[in-house]
Structure 1
Amino acid sequence: MLFRDRTNVFFVVVFPIVLIMVFGLSFGSGFSPRLGVAGGSTPLAAELVTALETSGRMQVVRVGDAEEAREGVERGRLAAALIIPDGYDRALTRYVPVTLSFISRQEPDALQLGAAVRSVVNQVTMPARAAAYVREGSFDELVRRAGQVSVPGIAVRFTALGAATIPRNVSSFDIAATSQLLLFTFLTSLTGAAALIETRRLGLSRRMYAAPVSSRTILLGEAAGRVAVALTQALIIMVGSGLLFGVRWGDPLGAAALVLAFSLVGGGAAMLLGSALRTGQQAVSVGLLVGLGLAAIGGTMAPIDFFPETMRRLAHVTPHAWALDGFAELLRRDGTIADVLPQLGVLIAFAAILFALGAWRLRAALTR
């Protein structure tokens, strides 16, 4: 019934993977904004373009002229554009001021790219500016000497303090996949509760209850169906993100335990929702509201590391925050299943409470 509705193929299989790709590219260290460069055919201009390309902060794209660069920025093909005028080399060698035009939209990424471009331009043109200040001798000799000058009595030392919250070996795709796994597993479980309501509406549940089958068997079967939906969604995301983006999940045993425990939570919530509501439309509406609300509070839409202390405490009233803590232990600190036992205990407690309430409510709905 889950995949009989063709729209579920998109929301269960395609949509989570697309979101992981979008978030992974947007916040990943491997993402380089595209900078269009017009000009740069003369020696000094080519030196500037090479410095931009090797800076590691951007992806340089050569464009034909200023008009093409402006159009690329307007249409979103380029994050920004740098226009090097034809008289760039002549201006530097004759100690004449020269202006390089930078075109961008008013967006955070473009503004950060502008700061990076200014830094590279200043670094490359500094010897020429020093030569322009001296103006005694040939330009090439002054530039060479300016590059060798060191200021006596000044030393700069860099010291890194503290520890990074997210280690370098944890990619943005790892973080995005973890949050989307929890978001969609819980959300798909809740919206899938409509199937349980449908079996009651069609009288299938009553006929099962009238058959020579114990009520415990019926309840366990319904519970297993809800958990199977949650596990299916979780496995699709884990396998898909692993194959497409190389996402790591840490210790396999610990990751499997967390996924199973959270799937039990999602299955219990779906069983309670499906036994308490009367129509499939109600299940979908309430499921979206509850699923997205708890996901936002629990830190799957915005990193919980950014939350203030009060919100972090509030986040832990949701199972999402505990599951995120467990995956953070596996990924960021190379933990094992023994290190996530506290999180597993809390998730199992959530699942036990939800299944107890769901079984009690479903039994009452079948026998009234």
Structure 2
Amino acid sequence: MSTILAVAGVEVRRFLRDRSNIFFVFIFPLLLILLLGSQFGAASGQSHVSLAGGAGTELEQRLASRLTADGLRVTSGGADAVRADLSRGRTDVGVFISDAAAMAFDDGRPADVEVVMASQSAAQAALQSVRASVQAVDAGQRQLAAIEAAGVGHVEAAAALEAARDAVELPRLEIVDTNNVTQEFTGLGQFDLGAAQQLLLFVFLSSLTGAATLIQARRLGVIARMMSAPVTSWQAIAGQSLGRFGIAVVQGGYIMLGTALLFGVDWGNALLAGLILVLFAAVSAAAAMVIGSVLDNDAAASGVGVGLGLVLAGLGGSMVPPEFFSETLQTVSRATPHRWAYDAFAIVQRHNGGFVDILPQLAVLAAMAAALLVLGALLLQRSLNRAL
């Protein structure tokens, strides 16, 4: 076992020695997830409004209560913090309450509040909801002022107005969405979908392009020198596979942890998500073994790895969600490991599925990994005796 681990360690060090791999494995995926989530990510299903200023005043309390009642998620913070959240897309709308506006509201005079919308697409709908909530607070204040102008005290006027609201049943509008695709993405976080897609894309792509290191090891005689030591061919093969598998798992785990900490991505049950990653990484490593054993040119292997990785990722739903595919393309996509891993992540992330729920997907991934690993091992063993 120590021999296999030593071979795997050498493979990992050879991979990391190329500085470009560090960028494309650890930095570029997070940048792409940030870009895609900011531009195309689904909203969390509940618009976020941040209130700045006027803490503890009646205006702030009335606005917060009304916004919450209207289905908006409301938080409070300092003006600088709210502006920073707006610029980073962490909140949809910021409402800034000045001291003068709070005092004017208490005195029954018109109060001006500043409303700032973020740049993301979902902010426009949130702004309309905020406007409706502000208008409702304004209407309530005007009604209270009209009752007080008739000679009724403030306390009695507020109580009478509240009683009137309770006595009148407002009309309700209930919208039932029967679109299965819409329901599938309901409640999905802004970065959740993109994170799962890019995880599958980059783990598989990095593994395939890493097949070039296997060809270089064969060409430079690294494997031949290894075989001159007391190392069997199957130990060399197992070490090569384990090294590539370790790189894929580390990259996938890094993406999962990074997106959870930086973007708040919800991966569902951590153990199940990790199990999906492990099996998908096994498939990726085994596929790299096949390419690295069949081809003799490392440049050609990199090109084939990029092309094949992008094509399979596109067919498997790592670029466009497979829920939008036609029935024919849906069937084709199930020939890729990406689709089975995508479905497993969807069950865990969106539906809080358990181990039994994703067992079919895990079984298919395990079968793919085993088949590719056996094929790659046989091809690599044959290539050890083939002159380059």
TM above 0.5: yes
Contact 1:13 1:236 in 2 (8 A): yes
Equivalent in the alignment of 1:2: 15
Q: Choose which of 334, 341, 356 in structure 1 pairs with 2:353.
A: 334
Equivalent in the alignment of 1:126: 139
Q: Distance in 2 between matches of 1:3 and 1:120?
A: 55
Q: Distance in 2 between matches of 1:147 and 1:201?
A: 84
Q: Choose which of 145, 149, 172 in structure 1 pairs with 2:164.
A: 149
Q: Choose which of 229, 234, 239 in structure 1 pairs with 2:252.
A: 234
Q: Choose which of 73, 98, 106 in structure 2 pairs with 1:57.
A: 73
CA change 1:367–1:131 in 2 (3 A) is same
Query: Would you say 1:201 and 2:219 are equivalent positions?
Result: yes
Q: Distance in 1 between matches of 2:116 and 2:377?
A: 62
Encode CA deviations 1:229-252: one digit per residue, 9 max, x unaligned: 223333444566677869555383
Q: Distance in 1 between matches of 2:84 and 2:241?
A: 57
> In structure 2, what residue type is equivalent to 1:187?
L
Q: Distance in 2 between matches of 1:143 and 1:367?
A: 91
Give the deviation of 1:195 after TM superposition: 0.9
Unaligned segments of structure 1, at least 5 residues: none
Comparing 211-220 with 340-349, greater Cα deviation is found at 211-220
Encode CA deviations 1:230-284: one digit per residue, 9 max, x unaligned: 23333444566677869555383x5555333222210121122223444444444
Query: Would you say 1:115 and 2:128 are equivalent positions?
Result: yes
Q: Which has the higher contact order (CA 8 A, sep 6+)?
A: 2
Q: Distance in 2 between matches of 1:174 and 1:158?
A: 28
Query: Would you say 1:325 and 2:337 are equivalent positions?
Result: no
> In structure 1, what residue type is equivalent to 2:222?
L
Unaligned segments of structure 2, at least 5 residues: 1-13
Encode CA deviations 1:16-52: one digit per residue, 9 max, x unaligned: 56666787896574997565768x6997755555447
Give the deviation of 1:71 after TM superposition: 12
Q: Distance in 2 between matches of 1:59 and 1:288?
A: 44
Contact 2:51 2:97 in 1 (8 A): no
Q: Distance in 2 between matches of 1:204 and 1:13?
A: 27
Q: Distance in 2 between matches of 1:327 and 1:84?
A: 42
Contact 2:63 2:133 in 1 (8 A): no
Equivalent in the alignment of 2:361: 343
Q: Distance in 2 between matches of 1:143 and 1:313?
A: 63
Contact 2:267 2:348 in 1 (8 A): no
Q: Choose which of 296, 299, 307 in structure 1 pairs with 2:314.
A: 296
Give the deviation of 1:121 after TM superposition: 0.7
Q: How many residues end up aligned between the 2 structures?
A: 358
Equivalent in the alignment of 2:202: 184
Encode CA deviations 1:58-105: one digit per residue, 9 max, x unaligned: 5456659xxxx9999899898656577978948x957x8x88775547
Give the deviation of 1:299 after TM superposition: 2.5
CA change 1:57–1:8 in 2 (3 A) is same
> In structure 1, what residue type is equivalent to 2:164?
V
Encode CA deviations 1:141-183: one digit per residue, 9 max, x unaligned: 6665444324657664969899964797x87777665444423
Contact 1:58 1:113 in 2 (8 A): no
Per the normalisation by structure 2, the TM-score is: 0.66
Q: Choose which of 279, 282, 296 in structure 2 pairs with 1:264.
A: 282
SS of 2:353's partner is coil
Comparing 304-313 with 1-10, greater Cα deviation is found at 304-313
CA change 1:315–1:44 in 2 (3 A) is same
Q: Choose which of 243, 246, 254 in structure 2 pairs with 1:225.
A: 243
Equivalent in the alignment of 1:367: 386
Percent of pairs with identical residues: 33
Contact 1:192 1:229 in 2 (8 A): no
